[in-house]
Amino acid sequence: MNIPKTIVTYHSFENISNFEKQLQILKKQKNVLVTVDDGDLTFYTEAYPLLVKYKIPAILFIITSLIGTEIPFWWNEIMYYQGEVKGFKKATELKYIPNQERIYYLIKLRSLSDKPLLKQQQLTIKQLLEMQDNGIIIANHSDTHPMFDQCNEEVIRAEIKNTKLFFEANNLKGYSVFAYPNGGYNKMSETVLKQEGIEFAFLFDHKINKGIINPLRISRLSVNDDTPIWKFKLILSGWHSKWVPLNIFLYKILKR
C-alpha cells in the first residue's frame, strides 16, 4: 500500500451536501485518503455512495464485535444515560483511565438505570462485503474499542486475535490495516500489533505525514462532514494543526 501524506478521518455523516463539497476538494488533490473510524451505519447509507461516485480511496475501520448486532458504541451509551453534554464529558474522561475501570463504570451505569438498554443498528457482514467489492478497504479498529494505551498486554492480544478470527471467517481483507481506537498508541501495543501481523497502524494525531512514513505510525487529520470548506482547506494545508496551538499560546499571553 502506498501511504498518502494527507489522510483525513471522519466518524459519522449527516451534512451530506457539505461532505460532497469536501470530496470535490479532495478529488482535486493528488495522493489523499479518506479514513472513517468506528463503522457508523451512516457510512454505508450516506458516505459510501459518494466515495464510489468520486472514486476517492477510502478505508473503513470497523469494531468487529459490533458487526451485525444492535450493540451501541460505548460512548453513545454514556450519553444515553447521562445526557449529551455531561455524557460526552464523561466519555472523554473514560478514554484516559485504565480499561478495566472504564468497563466497570459502564456496567454500573447500566445497572443503576431504569432505562431500557440502548440499541444501535450496526453494519452487517453483507453491507461490508458489498462495500469491499466496490473498492472500500474494510479494516481493523479492534474488537471492542478499548484504548490500547489503557490496556494490559493480555487484553490487547485478545482484542487482536478476535479481530483476526472475524476477518478470516467473513472474507474481509483488511485485518492487517489497523487504526488505534481514539489514537491510543503506546510502544507495548505496537509490539503486540507487529507480532500479530499488523502491517499498517494509523494514529489520530491531527498531522500530515512528512518524509519517510513509518507504516506503524501513520498520521491522520481530524475532520467532520460539517467542517466548513474554508476550514477544511486550512486543515488539508497542514496549517491548522500548527495554528490551533499557536492560537492557544497567543490567547494565554494576551490574557495575562
Residues in contact with Zn ion by CB under 5 A are 37-38, 181
Residue 47 C-beta: closest distance to Zn ion, Å: 15
Residue 229 C-beta: closest distance to Zn ion, Å: 25
Residue 254 C-beta: closest distance to Zn ion, Å: 35
Q: Where are the beta strands (DSSP E) in 32-172?
A: 32-38, 58-62, 137-140
Q: Which is nearer to Zn ion, 25 or 190 (CB)?
A: 190
Residue number closest to Zn ion, CB atom: 37
Q: Which is nearer to Zn ion, 9 or 242 (CB)?
A: 9
Q: What b-and-e string marks burial along 122-153, b requiring 16 or more CB atoms within 10 Å of the CB?
A: bbeeebbeebbeeebbbbbbbbbbbbbbbbee
Residue 75 C-beta: closest distance to Zn ion, Å: 9
Whole-angstrom distance, CA of residue 13 vs CA of residue 121 = 15
Q: Which is nearer to Zn ion, 62 or 236 (CB)?
A: 62
Residue 7 C-beta: closest distance to Zn ion, Å: 15
Q: Which is nearer to Zn ion, 48 or 61 (CB)?
A: 61
Q: Which is nearer to Zn ion, 58 or 254 (CB)?
A: 58
Phi, psi of 79 (to 5 degrees): -70, -30
Burial class (CB in 10 A: 0-12, 13-18, 19+), 112: exposed
Length of the chain: 256
User: 150 with 96: CB under 8 angstroms?
Assistant: yes
